[in-house]
Chain A
Amino acid sequence: MNIPSKKLQKSLVAFLAFVLALATPNISNAADAGNGQKVFKANCTSCHAIGRKVVGPDLMDVTKRVPSTDWMFSWIKNNAAVLKTGDKYATQVFNDNGKQAMTVFDGTLTDDQIKDVIAYLAVAKPDAGPVATAATGTETGAPENKHKGQFVWVIVIIIATLFIIVTVLRTVRKSLQAVVDEKTGEKTQVGNGTTVWQDIGIWIRNHKSRFAVTVIFFIALSSVYSWEYLWGIDVTPGYHPSQPINFMHKVHAGDNAIACIYCHSGAEKGKVAGIPTLNVCMNCHKGIQGSTPEYQKEIAKVYYAAGWDPSKGDYTNPPHPVQWNRVHSLPDFAYFNHSQHVVVGKVECEKCHGDVKTFTTDQQFAPLTMGWCINCHRETPVQMEGNGYYAKLHEAIKQKFGDDKKVTEADMGGLECGKCHY
């Protein structure tokens, strides 16, 4: 068995090598398409894609339409130089693509790398292009509700089973009692003619103190639970509704380390941090169309909402404002101002919003109850250092109480009703 199999292995290897050689165009003989793909992804995808136009032209089958491979090489290496020579094809490409100058890679990429890229482009398959689709908002997701429902059913089933068992046992007992009665000729208290309720009544009369303790225990228990429950109404930490666009803070704030303030610029200016408007999204997403089909689908929703036509590279479609499901919603009677906390109080965003960098769907981190606000006001020292508003006061407090006197928000009147309620 060994010999033929070895032979087979050899011939298989030979066959594969042949197929590969056939499948690879001549140019790539000296170049590595696999490496080319890596280089392409690292350097080109912010402006180019295979199978669709981004900022630069669609590179599907580009090797077939350019005048020559050498032309392509010199173009990638230094397109500005090619344009200077007055090359006809180069000028046309430049004009057709909004006269946007391409990056010069001379010095950044080695000649071999450029050749690898060209090799890759010759074989590259199109990635799934984003199609502008409607961003449809879905119902708010509350997965724990499902479990809650199941829990209730389990309880109902248990109660039903217990009820059936009790009924059966009672019937059995009655029959047995009847048999006993027949034998002894006596008539006991329990027996025919009494209902379940009468039986319960009899039991209670016989076990008054035990019954009282049970009732008190149940009342106390349910009071405690209702109390807890009532306090918890509308307190929803962990609330994470699904959103019309599956925006991921993990990708933006986490992987790409974009500062919170870049998108939520209102946080430094006024009372609302604000959900970024679509033009802010488009600052980056004009170029970034997504690396996976899932991302592309979501980014396509951004284009749809903004009225951006990726093929034309312009806002030519009608806009469709995104209806986000609000995650943090304070009641109207509580006034909260972001700039007060972020700029003056120098509070980190994470303190109230949690480790947003890891969130795949945005969720409410803090309970947002008054007690939670108040606690922080009690503990947090006022950022007096370096703020001219507090200068005189700071000096006076230092003189009166010494340098290490910690002045908390509460000391400054931060617990007064009128700070938040008006």
Chain B
Amino acid sequence: MANQKKYWKGLEELTASPSFVKAKTKEFVEEVPVDEFLGNQGQNPSSTSRRDFLKFLGFSVAAASLAACEAPVVKTIPYVIKPEEVTPGIDNWYASTYFDGQDYCSILIKTRDGRPIKVEGNTMSGVTKGAANARVQSSVLSLYNSERLTGPMIGHKKATWEQVDKEIGEKLAKGGNIRILTSTIVSPSTDQIIADFKEKYSSTKHVSWDAVSFSGLKKANEGGIPTYAFNKADVIVSIAADFLTNWLSPIEFSKQYAEGRKVGKNKKEMSRHIQFESIMTVSGANADTRVQIKPSEEGAVAIGLYNAVAKQTGGSSLAAPSFSDAKISERIDKTAAELVKSKGKSLVVAGSNDTAVQVVVKEINKLLDNYGADKSINSDKACYLRQGSDEDFAELVSDMKAGKVDVLITYNVNPVYNSAKALGFAEAYAKVPCKIALAEVKDETASGANYICPTHNYMEAWGDANPYDGQYSLAQPAIYPLFSKKFPRENVESKYEGTRHAQENFLKWSGSETPDYYTYLQQYWKKNVLPEQGSEGGDYMFIDLWNKTLSSGVFEKEAKPRVMESASSVSLSDAASKIAATPKGGIEAVLYEKTGIGNGNQANNPWLQEMPDPISKVTWDNYVTMNPGEMKDKGYNLLLDDNRDASIVTVSANGVTLTLPVYPQPGQARGTIGIALGYGRTGAGKVANGIGQNAYTLVQWTNNTFQYNVANVTVTKADGTYKLAATQTHHTMIGRPVLKETTLEEYKKHADAGNEEEKIPVMLGSKSEDRSFKDVNLWDDYDNKSPVNMTNNAGNLGLRWKMAIDLNSCIGCGACVVSCNAENNVPVVGKEEILNAREMHWIRIDRYYSSDLTMEKAKEEGMTESHRMYTMMDASADNPEVAFQPVMCQHCNHAPCETVCPVIATSHASEGINQMVYNRCVGTKYCANNCPYKVRRFNWFNYYRDEKFLTVNPAQESNEMGRMVLNPDVVVRSRGVMEKCSLCIQRIQGGKLKAKIEGRTIKDGEVNTACAQSCPTQAIVFGNGNDPESRVAKLMDDERNYLLLADLDTQPNVFYMTKVRNSDHHLLSE
């Protein structure tokens, strides 16, 4: 039976708002403002007349042709002495490690002629297994951040390193209390350096603190945070933990999660995911069952689950909590039953930073027997990814306030910006007489410091990491520090004083014998890591270990199992009573991290700012999310379009007030709001400064931990409206059925569930008959007639590129969008142009909401047309199901775009690729109008040259730093041409060439598109469909595969796989 669900991308589509209906039929929403430059002279005397226009036209034609006569002289400057490893035009890859206190990722950095241009996941790593998220992908652009400091500063004046070292040395020698404040340090050698420093200056204390704290989790597991394995759980229950994009180690977890979620010919089982949450997170959107709770009920849910599980497994129960909705406790009982059924193969996690909640969750997992070396929680292997302690931080702040801190060294933290206002760090900071900031940019904290010692970007630096017991990785420079005083290889000096390793500061100041961090790192590894290999020390063995680790990026071995003390100073009963006392009531706010911006440390990165949020699809902004039904009740503007902007609200709690636009978020629990952290920067740089407001100010200090749930918030309507640049209704396929889904139950019964062949009525003579669309085809069969397909005729020996997109695995995280940006030089257009629906992303992720309330159902229930609209909206937008669908050029064999191009700028290749030739395109835009998938993007401006985009687009001609990120294999498109996904043709050509030079055929997986490569869940698979052994060819045989808008018979080379939900209700079959 066909899917009867109603899908919509935004409320505008759901309610069919007039402007949406008007816009959806148009490829280009905005009219071209012809009148502006061809204005009527009579009406507007100052405007250019037709005569003038012709004069200018004539002049510019003459000028242009004159200018074109002489080709410019191009200079070519080869190296003086070529570095051995560099060959112009050939990539070099370096294995390295990314850790910014938030995401850990083992990576490969692609460099071209000495410049890093792309980051990809390292498949050799046992932790991240080749995955990388949007933030890690974007980090290559942060290297070229023009706001970076070029040399040390004393006060606000430039200084030399000698001066800085001398003055700081004197200050440190004076004695007094020294404090080092850092984010989590996973580098064991850096830890050792700080320990050495502490030895030299005995009055030193090291405080670890994370901007978004995991103190509660750490305190509940005092022996160490255990290792989680989401792939080993059949039932995953998450209480407000967004483990797919933010919680603890999201890159690793999304990879594990997808492993359990994939289905196929030989695997008809998948894990079940139940999420209890207030705001709609990416994890919640992927859940099979999503239960809306109030933020203050997170603990109650944990206790409820504990009681229900204990009842079935024979544990003692705690005092029963009460819920705002009776449905919640009903859901908890059902969930507990499922958990118990999968005892030993389940996992419960909680996002709360409340120790009490984490203690209860730990006890649930114990009852469920989830702890064990081969189980979903491995307590034998400690995780070091979050070590921050909120208590230590609070103590530091009170010491600073009391004037007890003489020297404060901050490294990789920005507490002036991102610590809770309740604690008053900023005021305390001002009281410290000597503040030293080790920072890359002059951020909010560094700008108040007495000394700023600029550090290398991670791509310029050495480093190591030990995220888990037994798992090490190295970081190595992929580029010589951009800001260096000397370039020894070229024997040149620069005007900059230069940056240095953060570690070298500590080494210098503590008078170490090895002030060079690289030497120190090697010595450290020789002394501490080499013995772990189990072999005798010795230079030979060490060089072997070092070189191997440097080349693979990682050194992994079986960790010695060590039983971690799982006890916590907080007992279960204490936890229960603390939970009972959780502040609640009124409107409750959740302060959350966005998938792109995260904790805000890379806020100045335009790729991340422009990446549409996976859920809201809003770019470049911070906003308050609210349940649409509730917004309607309060009279806020729900439908955002040309004529109506978002309402503005004032949110205040505990003396802090934020004024932000309010955005309707289907699925948000009633009585709650969500505000993203990481905005409202003042010291990040020109891209991020002034966007949104700083929600860290609202963070609460309760039970000695930072709490991101705030109760009793007042929300009042403020004057005015605000334009939010959301892409959710751009490029819509006007409600045609594009998303196919089914339930696991149906799928097990018949593998093509939800993907039944569609038939269309055909008039045969006088009678109508239902026929497959394949029988009614106006097209010549392209494939067999092509002369080139001599290769295909000769037994499918040629290449036929195919791409499979598994909707079941796509979590909507947006890593592919950023990866595509980096690979294909996609310009950043900025908020103004996104408001005009002119975003340039070649790949978009459509996020669909759906519910079971269909048109037919509404009719049965006797709703009138106008009444239905609102009722439907209320009911279906309350807690809809969510599905993600990445859409890029479908590379149709019968491409509608190709037939309408008047200049043949877009044409078809024998390998199945729809080619776009920019230099041939004259910009008629016919192709975009004729594309049913809405994947073509018109280049409205010279984004790389136009001053208007100077702030947002990094790859500007005038920006010497930003343009270094450009991929030299892909042309930078000019104004007036159409562009679109090319299936990374530069990679295909490169892969083919490599195979030809080596005299062999292409191996499967060798040629991969940027999106497929970066997908952490491998939802996108790319390969040669003519190779029967390729992964993509096998997926072509899968019953779940379907083509987008197959009834148009465009025969795309990209195909999709039906989404399977492991639901406990049978919505679709009803």
Contacts and interface: CB of A to CB of B under 8 A. Distances in A.
Contact of B982 (A340, A419, A422): A422
B88 A344 contact: no
B480 to A, nearest CB: 16
A413 B999 contact: no
Interface string B70-103: 0101111111111000011110000000000000
A311 to B, nearest CB: 18
B915 A416 contact: yes
A380 to B, nearest CB: 15
B756 interface: no
A278 interface: yes
Given A306-B80, A335-B986, A234 B491 contact: no
Nearest to A386: B999
Contacts, number: 175
B910 interface: yes
Nearest to B918: A333
A314 interface: no
A343 B997 contact: yes
B911 interface: yes
Contacts of B999: 386-389
Interface stretch (B605-613, B787-795, B804-812, B852-860): B787-795
Contacts of B989: 335, 337, 419, 422
B991 to A, nearest CB: 11
A241 interface: yes
Contact of A412 (B74, B490, B788): B788
B161 to A, nearest CB: 23
Interface residues of B, number: 57
A335 B993 CA distance: 13
Given A236-B71, A413-B909, A318 B797 contact: no
A257 interface: no
B492 interface: yes
B1001 interface: yes
A339 interface: yes
Nearest to B907: A417
Interface stretch (B423-431, B507-515, B968-976): B968-976
Main secondary structure of the interface of A (DSSP, over half): loop
Given A419-B989, A421-B917, A318 B89 contact: no
Contacts of A34: none
B68 interface: yes
Interface string A388-422: 11011100110110000001000111001111011
Given A266-B88, A421-B915, A322 B78 contact: yes
Contacts of A276: 78
Interface string B53-73: 000000000000100110101
Interface in B960-993: 969-972, 982, 985-986, 989, 992-993
A419 B799 CA distance: 14
Contacts of A325: 73-76
B788 A339 contact: no
Contact of A416 (B797, B909, B918, B992): B909
B268 interface: no
Contacts of A339: 993, 997
A310 B995 CA distance: 45
A340 B201 CA distance: 62
B797 A393 contact: yes
Nearest to B69: A233
Contacts of A393: 791, 794, 797-798
Given A266-B88, A278-B81, A393-B798, A422 B1000 contact: no
B913 interface: yes
A417 B920 contact: yes
A418 B68 contact: no
Given A270-B88, A307-B491, A421-B918, A233 B790 contact: no
B996 interface: yes
B919 A241 contact: no
A164 interface: no
B985 A422 contact: yes
B80 A305 contact: yes
Given A305-B80, A326-B75, A422-B971, A397 B794 contact: yes
Contacts of B71: 234, 236, 239, 329
A418 B981 CA distance: 12
How many chain A residues sit at the interface, stated as a range, is 35 or more
A294 to B, nearest CB: 23
A422 B918 CA distance: 8
B78 A274 contact: yes
A319 interface: yes
A396 B796 CA distance: 10
A419 B65 CA distance: 29
B794 A233 contact: no
A323 B794 contact: no
Interface string A237-254: 001010000000000000
Contacts of B918: 333, 421
Given A335-B969, A396-B797, A412-B791, A319 B1000 contact: no
Contacts of B492: 318-319
Nearest to A275: B78
Nearest to B91: A270
A307 B971 contact: no
A319 B80 contact: yes
Most chain B C-beta atoms within 10 Å of own C-beta, residue among A277, A305, A322, A343? A277
A328 to B, nearest CB: 10
Contact of B68 (A234, A322, A333, A421): A234
A266 B82 CA distance: 12
Given A397-B794, A422-B986, A266 B993 contact: no
Interface string B938-978: 00000000000000000000000000000001111000000
A344 B491 contact: no
Interface in A325-360: 325-326, 329, 331-333, 335, 337, 339-340, 343-344
Contacts of B972: 332
B915 A277 contact: no
Contacts of B907: 416-417
Contacts of B78: 274-278, 321-322, 324
A375 interface: no
Contacts of A343: 996-997
Interface in B995-1025: 995-1001
B971 A275 contact: no
B73 to A, nearest CB: 5
Contact of A413 (B76, B77, B788, B995): B788
B993 A319 contact: no
B785 to A, nearest CB: 14
A321 B77 CA distance: 7
A156 interface: no
Contacts of B1000: 388-389
Interface in A251-296: 265-266, 269-272, 274-280
Contacts of A387: 996, 999
A140 interface: yes
Given A323-B76, A393-B791, 16 more contacts: A234-B68, A239-B71, A274-B87, A274-B89, A275-B76, A277-B79, A305-B80, A324-B75, A325-B76, A388-B998, A397-B790, A412-B788, A417-B917, A417-B920, A418-B913, A418-B982
18 contacts: A230-B65, A266-B90, A272-B89, A277-B81, A279-B80, A325-B73, A326-B75, A400-B793, A413-B909, A416-B910, A417-B907, A417-B915, A417-B917, A419-B989, A421-B915, A421-B920, A422-B971, A422-B986
Interface of B: 65, 68-69, 71, 73-82, 87-90, 490-492, 787-788, 790-791, 793-795, 797-798, 907, 909-911, 913, 915, 917-920, 969-972, 982, 985-986, 989, 992-993, 995-1001
Interface of A: 137, 140, 230, 233-234, 236, 239, 241, 265-266, 269-272, 274-280, 305-307, 315, 318-326, 329, 331-333, 335, 337, 339-340, 343-344, 386-389, 391-393, 396-397, 399-400, 407, 411-413, 416-419, 421-422
